[in-house]
Structure 1
Amino acid sequence: MEKNQIKQIIINGRFVGIVGWEDAFRKITSAHQDTNDEEIKKALLAEISAKNYIPSSALNDYGDALLREFKIEHGLPVAEAPLAGLRIAVLGMRCARCDELERNVRDLLAEMQIAADLRHITDAKEIGRYGVMGSPALVINNKVVSVGEIPPKSKIRQFIIDAYPTPDDK
């Protein structure tokens, strides 16, 4: 594994960086075939906690999130991770158009004074999970809203307004 490789997973509605995910995934996959979810969860927690701090009060939440990610990597059905707040992802390989879309989204969020988790996903495997074939792509709260273009700022603004949770939704 690359020294600084970090996998982001959703725990309690927030992205958390996990160091050593790929090594743990490979080890648990080979050692725990035909094992139940609880055993896999315990093994994942043991492996991941060796390189990551996991608060004792959050062990169950981490275990659930790690098991969900493990199942996703194996192509097994899982419930979608619950989201908290506004989540925006720009999908693309860091080309000029992808970077421009990210800048436009960041500028609009600042202008609208909206806090959001904004990520630029460049990993082909993660991009593939969204099922998009073009780039850049814009994903808001796990919904693909634009592919293969840089939407006008007015359209991006409307996407954000449509997805932004109102106080009644919280």
Structure 2
Amino acid sequence: MEQTEKKQVHYKKIENISAYVKKLAKEGANLIIAKKWTRIMARKGTPGEKVISWSVAADGDLIMEKEAEVGQDAETGENDWIATKIGKDGSVLVDEHGNKNEWIITDTVFWQKYRQDQEHPGYYVPVGVSQTFLRLPEAITLRQWGEECMRVDAGGYINVTDKNNIYVISQRDFEDTYEIR
């Protein structure tokens, strides 16, 4: 029986995401236009409640993208939301390791990105604007939104729609969330 050796993934540490995006653009990275389609379930979190966001590497290995804690939104004073991604059939998306696709989002950002699904209480639909992305040519780790380091494998995406809110998303999450135009 042939054994295959697992390749150790090296994550390049990115200190300045804006400078990294400029470098990719200068090197000829293609812009990708996509629109968010996926609904989510969401609820207000309790301050101190923790959520771990998981992803799966191209080789199937589990990646802890980040661990975050519910706080209060500095602008609204409201608790952060805990969002759970759901599929087109309304079921909670779960990866092959049994992890739900969950994350924490501030109240201000939540209402900028989502509105209540009038037909399904507790479900929210994206505010439908097209967004611009660059594809990651390498695995990276960075601090985003002031949180602990987030890791994303090569093939993930950088959302560059708003130069003041540049962020990364794994390939799996992109494919579960966006439709390329």
TM-score range, shorter chain: under 0.3
Higher helix share: 1
Higher strand share: 2
Normalised to the residue count of structure 1, the TM-score between the two structures is 0.26
**Which protein is bigger by CA-based radius of gyration?**
1
- Relative CO higher for 1 or 2, CA cutoff 8 Å, sep ≥ 6? 2
